[in-house]
Amino acid sequence: MPVRITSNSHPQIFLSTPSARQLLLKYSQYHISAPLTTALRTGAHALNVEPEFSGAAEFWVEKLEDFGAIFTDPVYLKDVIPDEESFLKRSESVMFVGEEQVKFVAGR
């Protein structure tokens, strides 16, 4: 799937979900770059392991219930899921939940 589709049109559809606009604190996408991965692997003598995915999305919410509310919103179910099915295999998607622990920020 071209990055421009998931990077441009999908966020607009996703953010049309009322609960997403209300409850999300942050939404980011990460698109895997084969040339950068190769350069890092070569320069850092890293293992020759390619990711099993082409990208990821990060969602920040105040509490876990907010995350559930977004992904059960009727607009999400009606509009976002069909769009997602055009570029990802939902049955193979993986989710994980965690808390960011910042260990270093330059200049602070």
- 67 found inside a domain: yes
Predicted confidence (pLDDT) per residue in 45-67, tens digit: 666 666 677 788 999 999 999 99
pTM: 0.76
Predicted confidence (pLDDT) per residue in 67-85, tens digit: 999 999 999 999 999 999 9
- The count of domains in the chain is 1
- 49 found inside a domain: yes
- 32 found inside a domain: yes
Cβ pair 73, 22 in contact under 8 A: no
Domain that holds residue 34: 3-92
- Backbone dihedral region of 17: left (phi > 0), alpha (psi from -120 to 50 degrees) or beta? beta
- 33 found inside a domain: yes
DSSP string, 51-64: -SSSEEEEEEESSH
- 40 found inside a domain: yes
- 69 found inside a domain: yes
